[in-house]
Structure formats: structure tokens, C-alpha cells
């Protein structure tokens, strides 16, 4: 939404001659697993609805299934990335 852009993606200009007008700024934000989970969940729901309405199937796993099976998010055993950090 444009209101969000006008609040979070601008900053005042540093030049006093410009009367501190707002200039665009893209901020770096850290990746959060919950954002990835929600994205995978909603894209999976969209694909499932699409498949059911068109009566088609795909052998490609849904994003939610991929997310849940990924070793980085598996609670059963430590991931390969975790093992590298412990060494």
C-alpha cells in the first residue's frame, strides 16, 4: 500500500536547502523464519485452490511441503549448516 511506502520507505533529505523533503529508501531487514513460513503457507494455499478449480495435479512439491522438509527447519535432527557451525 502506498501509505506503508510513505511511512516506512522514505527518509528526510539531509540537504537543508531542499527543506527536508522525503526521499525513497529501501531498508535492509533481517530474514525471519516466520515470514518464510507464512509466504510458503499462502502460496501453497493458492496453488491448491488453483489445482482444485482446474482439476490438475503437479508432481512438484508445494512450497509448504518443501519448507517443512528442509533440513534447516527440521526439528528432528541437526542440519548440515548447524554441524558446520559447531566444528
**pLDDT, tens only, 33-46:** 888 889 999 999 99
Length of the chain: 87
Residue 54: pLDDT band (50, 70, 90) is: very high
Q: What's the whole-number mean pLDDT along residues 32-60? A: 90
Query: Hey, what's the torsion of the CAs at 69, 70, 75, 78, to 10 degrees?
Result: 130
- Rounded (5°) CA angle 35-39-43: 175
Q: What is the pTM of this model?
A: 0.52
Amino acid at each position: 500500500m502506498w501509505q506503508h511506502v510513505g511511512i516506512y520507505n522514505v527518509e528526510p533529505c539531509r540537504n537543508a536547502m531542499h527543506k527536508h523533503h522525503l526521499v525513497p529508501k529501501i531498508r535492509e531487514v533481517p530474514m525471519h523464519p516466520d515470514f518464510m513460513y507464512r509466504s510458503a503457507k499462502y502460496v501453497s494455499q493458492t496453488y491448491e485452490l488453483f489445482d482444485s478449480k482446474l482439476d490438475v495435479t503437479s508432481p512438484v512439491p508445494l512450497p509448504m511441503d518443501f519448507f517443512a522438509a528442509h533440513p534447516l527447519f527440521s526439528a528432528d535432527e541437526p542440519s548440515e549448516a548447524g554441524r558446520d557451525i559447531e566444528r
